[in-house]
Structures are given as C-alpha cells and as structure tokens.
Amino acid sequence: QVQLVESGGGLVQAGGSLRLTCAASGTLFAINTMGWYRQAPGKQRELVATITPGGSTNYADSVKGRFTISRDNAKNTVYLQMNTLKPDDTAVYYCRSQSAWRDDWGQGTQVTVSS
C-alpha cells in the first residue's frame, strides 16, 4: 500500500520560509515522478512543482525563483523549500507520486501566510 505523508506546513508571515517534506512508502520511489500541488479555498488544485526520477524539475510560473523541489531517493523523500512566501501561497499542499502504474496523493498539509 502506497503512503505519502506530508509535513512541515504551518503559519508564517509574508516574506518567510517553510520547508515541506513528503515521505513515501510502499512504492518504487526512485522511478516515480514526484510533485507538489496546492489547493486554496474555492479554487481548483494546481501544480506547484514536479521532479522526475532523473532530477528534472518543473515549476508553476507563480513560484519560480521562490520555491525549490528536491528529492532524496535513499530516504524516499521529496522536499519543497518555499522562500519569500506571499499570502497568495496560502493553501493545502499535496504530495503526488506518479508512475506508469499508479497515481497516488497524500492527505495534504496546510500552509498559511499572513500579511
């Protein structure tokens, strides 16, 4: 059974930083594309960043230059470093694991940025 457990969310002032962590189990982590998505109240879930097994990254325009996605295959973990946070970054952040056979999501972690 695949499990994705996010942590690291919280309340931070605008301009601050947070680091999200997603720990995966029950999956061949090293061959999965991992991603972070977010959903704000009343809005659709949107892509934040993805990272392929080879380490290629992709970011939403709104977070480029502020957020960094990375992975540690030895620890089955993916990270999202978020700097210069803005109130518009407030959302529930979800971890996603994709392979040719499966598409799994975590339960999410709340990030709230106060102005």
Report pLDDT digits (tens) over 85-106: 999 999 999 999 999 889 999 9
Report pLDDT digits (tens) over 59-75: 999 999 999 999 999 99
What is the predicted pLDDT for the residue at 31?
85
Statement: residue 76 has pLDDT above 90: yes
Confirm if 109 and 21 have CB atoms less than 8 A apart.
no
What is the predicted pLDDT for the residue at 8?
98
What is the predicted pLDDT for the residue at 36?
98
C-alpha closest to that of 36 among 61, 13, 6, 16: 6
42 secondary structure, DSSP code: T
